[in-house]
Amino acid sequence: MSQAVSPIHLASPAGAPTAFAVTIEAGPSRVFQIAAAGAPVRRYVLARAEQPDYLDLFEQLARDVGTRLPHARQPPPAEGTAPALTPLLTAPVSPRILYGYGDPCVVQVGEGDWRLLVTSNDAPDAFPILASRDLRTWSLTGFVFPEGRTPAWTLTGPNRADFWAPELHRVGSEWWVCFTARSHDRSLAVGLARASSPDGPFTPDDAPLVTGDVIDSHILVDEAGAPWLVWKKDDNGVWPRALADLLARRPEWTAALFTEPQDLRTASLALTLWPWTAHREPMEQFFLLQPLIEAATADFQGFEARLEQLQARATGAEAMDLSVILRALKTRIYAQALSPDGRRLLGEPVVILQNDQPWEAHLIEGVWITRQNGRYHLLYAGNDFSTSHYGIGTAVADRPTGPYRKASEVFLSSTQAWWGPGHPSVAMGPDGRHHIFLHAFRPGEAGYKAFRALLAAPLSFEAGVVRLDPAMAVLSAT
């Protein structure tokens, strides 16, 4: 017989702008009893510990106690730019594909022959491989790592595993798949697997290529035929935890960092919950900290400036803590040369891109680089993937390592039809034109593990600029 678990009682430390008292009951459901200063105790029941459940909680708390309303429960900030996007896959082609077509890699593997690889999160079968002869009709040919055949270094199991963003590339005589997975220590790492066929079977390397909370790997083969590995340092997952921990120890600093009443209350609740949040699995931590992230990024430049002012006055370990947070506010994309066999990195990594545009807010990710007309065109995603603020940007350089010059405006953003367009790949279509392939959510359904559709649009590359082809798209929905 299992023993009953005692409820957890939390209270805001002295100095928090809003005093909260929270009781958390463990069991088949998450049960929160939350009281804000001057307000009655309210009870909230979460059927699961998934993102939609936490969004329900924070949406209700916004109404009850005046915390920030989640972005995912608001419409897009404005009508975005997405002309001629064609839906290609809007429903699962197999019950073994649990979450749709997030982070899509579309690659041409032969004459009139394409493959699609997508994120699988914690599904038993990792990284679906789909085949098409026309980009209209797709069939499941297998998985990079079928159940029971995941790399030994990866964490598996529901709500523990995270198999993200696979990419398939022909390098020499082999087909390589680079991918993100969670290691046994819960950190994210980039691995590589290889096969003689684009349909596998794939044999993973014994250890990851890059470790230390890195994601969204991309393989670029340069004009000399040399492979490069590109990846993102996932520091946007670092600073929210560090901020919540710091504010739990120095709650009086909350008022120095946040100016709006809703954000002061949001931060006060986050620091109150932190002693419990700190022990959740990484993705549940993100769900719990997302309101704090959105409070900080609502005025991202102002928040960063206030952090700098606070850091200038702080001393000792707390000054170091603030320096860590400030550095992590910048998401860096790295490139590094690979050995010809792809088994080791050469030289030193080079930062080729980081977030510095208002629409990107606190992060960029999901890079794809294509060489066109002698120049390297880089497409990437920015902002929070689980909201309608996510979008796609472009940049161009003369060398794989840059410097890259970004376009001044977002390339694709949310519309009334599709939310959160992101994580692009580029391939030649059957019409002889290049196409961008990307994922997007149905309106109001953005979030981790929510279904993502596969969309496409024709592209042109002219004078160092990426444009959506104004001609009518020829690809049609399945």
**Which residues have a catalytic role annotated?**
103, 365
Give the closest residue to 280 by CA, choosing from 69, 99, 26, 61. Answer: 26
Q: How far is CA 194 from the centre of its chain?
A: 25
Look up residue 245 and give its two tokens.
Answer: 């921990």
Give the span between the Cα atoms of 366 and 303, in whole angstroms: 25
Give the span between the Cα atoms of 304 and 324, in whole angstroms: 12
List phi, psi (to 5°) of 34: -130, 130
Give the closest residue to 178 by CA, choosing from 448, 425, 420, 400. Answer: 425
Residues 6 or more apart whose Cβ sits within 8 Å of residue 229: 178, 190, 209, 210, 217, 218, 219, 335, 336, 337, 338, 345
Q: How far is CA 406 from the centre of its chain?
A: 20
Residues 29/45, Cβ–Cβ less than 8 Å: yes
Q: Could you tell me whether strands 434-441 and 20-25 are parallel, antiparallel, or unpaired per DSSP bridges?
A: unpaired
Residues 6 or more apart whose Cβ sits within 8 Å of residue 467: 459, 460, 461
Q: Give the length of the chain.
A: 478
The identity of residue 444, as a single letter, is G
The angle that helices 261-277 and 239-249 make with each other, rounded to 10 degrees, is 90
Torsion sign (Cα): 75, 159, 166, 379 = positive
Give the closest residue to 295 by CA, choosing from 17, 41, 4. Answer: 17
What would the DSSP string read from start to end of 35-55?
EETTS--EEEEESSSSHHHHH
Alpha helices, DSSP H only, in 220-281?
239-249, 254-257, 261-277
Residues 6 or more apart whose Cβ sits within 8 Å of residue 13: 248, 251, 271, 272
Give the span between the Cα atoms of 371 and 230, in whole angstroms: 14
